[in-house]
Structure formats: structure tokens, C-alpha cells
Amino acid sequence: MLKIIRQDEQPYAKNVFHSISISTFKAWYKARLYEGGIASDLDWLLSIILGFSWKRITFNQEHKLQLPGSLAYLTKLWQCHCLEHVPLQHLMGICPWRDLYLKVEPGTLIPRQETELLVDLALQCLSIDKAREQVLSTDHSDVLQWADLGTGSGAIAVALARALPHWIGHATDCSHQGLIQAQNNVRQLVSCSRVTRYCGYWWEPLISLSGKINLILANPPYIPSQLIETLEENVVNHEPIIALDGGKDGLNAIRILINIAPKMLSPGGWIVIEHHYDQSSNVTDLMLNAGLTNIYRALDLDSNYRFAIARKPLCQY
């Protein structure tokens, strides 16, 4: 494998830039695409390094471009991505997500753009409750709590902690490595964190909170086992299988999450789950059978039903 030094570990001195002509840079860009890969990935890599879209230079009257690294270094990065199928996020050590840059390393799932919608949907549910003046906390206290099950890099936990600063958050994961990444991201990106991390499988670390969680989010493994080998090389070879493989029908983890949700949620509490593009009917049926109500499904960026939303009834009869 090619030896790569990540951007934050480069031996370049700070504020030392490499000046090249725009024509040279454009020729280099075309040569990299000729080697392989897709333009959107190369554009993403360059935008991270330059701090802006490189295509802006088309309208720039300057004749030189200042790079914080050499073209040789950029070439090595791109070749490692194309030849070794290493995700660019791992090579750079960061991943843009929502309005943030998360630190990511091998060992956890790289946050996807679709999962940003998971957070948006959850916040919409809370907005609906607020508009209807429904009280989420029914135990006569001001404590509102969310749980991010299978937090991985902590992407969802960070987003919720920033959006709901007065709530108490709980992030679980069975991976110690994942929890370390989540801790680092929460510490760096949340100014006043009220997030507690737990090592364990799904609900296990949170049993003491039964009936007290107002909002639950999860992006569990949901890919059927037989489809794992069909995934792109950069995914199957560099991301943890445990975060991808959902068992024979892809629903192993989702069943656990939904079946226990009524016990863990407070009355009126919401659960929002991401699932495979063809599992919508199965997931909503599981929610219905578990006694959840207000069941909805929502589309992803490709117009596939990829999210299921439900809540625990406000009153139990």
C-alpha cells in the first residue's frame, strides 16, 4: 500500500505555499482523472485542501494558484484512493457532515449525507410537538433526553448536542474505538456537552433509563449479508463490517431497536431509524406490531424510502 502522510501530519511548514500556474493545475487535474476515479471525489479532495471550490479559479484573474502542499503530495493521495480504494475521508482524516468537519478514522462508518436527513427528521418531530404544545417530558421535570444508538464517529450525537443544548444525550456503541472517535468529535465540536458515552450493544447500557428517553435515533447495520460482497471496494475493504451487515434480511439490529423502543421511550417519545432502501414496509410493520403510533416514512436524496419514524403513545390504556 502507498505510504500516505495525512494532511494534518504533513511535514510542510505552516503558511508555506506552493505557487503554480492555473494552466499547470488544470493539466494536473485532467491527468488525475485519466488515472481513474470520479471528478466529484477529486473536487471534494481539492476543496478540503484549498478551502474553496477549485473551479472558482476559472473566474479568478490571478495567474497563479497557491497550494498548501505540493502537486506530488496531492497525486500520491489521489493514487492511493484510486489504486488502493482507500476512502478519501480516511486519507484526510476528516469528513464534511452537515455544517461541520468530523474527524474520522478506520474502525467506524464514514457518515453519509443521507444520515444528515435522519437528524433533520428528528428535529421536525420535535418542532411538531412544540407547535402543538405537547410536553415531551411527562415526569414533571425539565429533563429531556435523547439517545444515539450505535454512535460510531459520533456524527448524530454531535448534531443533536448542538441542536438541543439543554437536553441530556446518551451515545452507545459496542466499539471502544468508535467511542473514542465520538468523544473526540463531541469535545471538539460541542461547546457545552451534556453527552454521556456508553460501551455496549444497543439498549443494554441504557436499561436504567427505561421510560425516560424522549428521542431515539439510530443508523444501524441494515445491509443483507449476501449483499456485503457487492459493495464498493472502498466500503467493504475499509469500513467495519459490523456497521454494515444487518443479517440475512438486514433487519437483525432494527428488530432489536424497535421491539425494545416502547419500553425505553417516554410517553409521546419519538424513534427515527435509517434503513435499507427496500425495507420500508418491513420496518413500519415492525413499528406497528410493537405498539408504536404516528408511523411515518420519509425519502432519502434519491427518492427512496429510507427512514421510518414513530412514537410511543402519549397514553397507555
Instruction: Convert the pLDDT of each residue in 132-187 to its tens digit.
Output: 555 555 444 568 999 999 998 999 999 999 999 989 999 999 988 888 888 889 98
Rounded Cα distance, 227 and 244, in Å:
10
Residue 38 CB coordination number (10 Å) = 10
Q: What is the band of 11 on the pLDDT scale with cuts at 50, 70, 90? A: very low
Cell representation of residue 123: 428535529
CB 249 within 8 A of CB 90: no
Instruction: Give the residue-averaged pLDDT of 205-226.
Output: 93
Domain with CATH 3.40.50.150 in the chain: 113-311
| Share above pLDDT 70 across residues of the chain, in percent, rounded to a whole number | 85
Distance between alpha carbon 59 and the CA centroid of its chain, in Å?
Answer: 34
Q: Can you say whether the dihedral through the CA atoms of 198, 203, 209, 213 is positive or negative?
A: positive
Cβ–Cβ < 8 Å for 89, 107:
no
Task: Note whether 267 and 138 are within 8 A (CB).
Answer: yes
Instruction: Give the closest residue to 19 by CA, choosing from 75, 59, 78, 63.
Output: 63
pLDDT digits (tens, 9 = 90+) for 74-101: 888 888 888 888 888 888 888 888 888 8
pLDDT at site 253:
95
Cell 467493504, residue located: 236
Exposure string over 55-77, b if 16+ CB within 10 A, otherwise e = eebeeeeeeebebbbebebbebb
Using 50, 70 and 90 to split pLDDT, how confident is the model at 5? very low
Helices 71-84 and 22-35: crossing angle, nearest 10°? 20
CB count within 10 Å of CB 279 equals 22
Residue 111 has pLDDT above 70, yes or no: yes
| Domain topology for 113-311 | Rossmann fold (3.40.50)
3-state secondary structure of 99: coil
Per the CB < 8 A criterion, the answer to whether 289 and 236 are in contact is: no
Q: What's this model's pTM, rounded to 2 decimal places?
A: 0.82
